[in-house]
Amino acid sequence: MIRPKTPKPSKADETDAYELATLRDNDTCQRCRRGCGPSNRDHRKNRSQGGHTIVSNLQILGGTGTTGCHGYITQHPAEGMAEGWTVPSFAIPAEWPARRWIRTEHGVLRLGWVLYDDAGGITEITEADRLVRMGLVQDMTEAAF
Ligand SMILES: [Zn+2]
């Protein structure tokens, strides 16, 4: 699918986006939440594939290009994509499901699927919505299992 290119954000907007994403993710690795390495403000869609420094395209992962969760995802791109840590080049980050730990009303952490917006917001989505958005099923009817 061909989509219009979005304008690149200014340096000041990028600084704000990094700060909002760091706050949203509590400066904690969203994959393991266990301090697997120094916080890395990861671009979900790589900059080399047109991913901008906007809040919806950022997530905190621990480690570097070769260590921690960030390193793992870099070295296992197919797994990173399937698990929701990476946005494919054709997709818009705000519309592509992200994996994330969510705290329930009982205070328990569980892994869920969300959409990120560019203001630092998080919207949880259903498994069916996730499958449709990722092109793994045709529509919600097929996803209603
Ligand atoms: Zn980690």
Question: The tokens of 109 are what?
Answer: 């952490």
Cα distances (angstroms) measured from residue 42 to each of 20, 131, 135, 136:
13, 23, 23, 25
62: alpha, beta or left? (left if phi > 0; alpha if psi -120 to 50)? beta
- What are the tens digits of pLDDT across the range 5-50? 677 899 999 999 999 999 999 999 999 999 899 999 999 999 999 9
Are 86 and 80 a contacting pair, CB within 8 Å?
yes
Within a domain: 78: yes
Check residue 86 and give its pLDDT: 96
What is the Å distance from ligand 1's center to 125 Cα? 23
**DSSP-based three-state secondary structure for 18:** helix
Tell me the CA–centroid distance for residue 49 and ligand 1, in Å: 24
Q: What distance in Å separates the CA atoms of residue 121 and residue 119, rounded to the nearest whole number? A: 6
Q: Is residue 5 part of a domain?
A: no
Does the residue 2 lie in any domain?
Answer: no
For residue 6, tell me if it sits in a domain: no
In a domain, 70, yes or no: yes
pLDDT in tens, 54-71: 999 999 999 998 999 999
Q: Is residue 3 part of a domain?
A: no
Question: What pLDDT does residue 30 have?
Answer: 94
Average pLDDT over residues 91-96: 97
Q: Which domain holds residue 117?
A: 11-143
Determine the Cα–Cα distance for residues 43 and 56; give it in Å rounded to an integer: 9
The yes-or-no verdict on residue 1 having pLDDT over 70 is no
Name the domain count of the chain: 1
* Beta carbons within 8 Å of 132's beta carbon, 6+ residues apart: 138, 139, 140, 143
CA dihedral of residues 24, 29, 35, 36 (deg, nearest 10): -160
Q: Is the pLDDT of residue 144 over 70?
A: no
Centre of ligand 1 from the C-alpha of residue 117, in Å: 22
Q: Taking all residues of the chain, what is their mean pLDDT, rounded to a whole number?
A: 92
Residue 73 Cα to ligand 1 midpoint, Å, equals: 10
Helix (H, G, I), strand (E, B) or coil at 60: strand
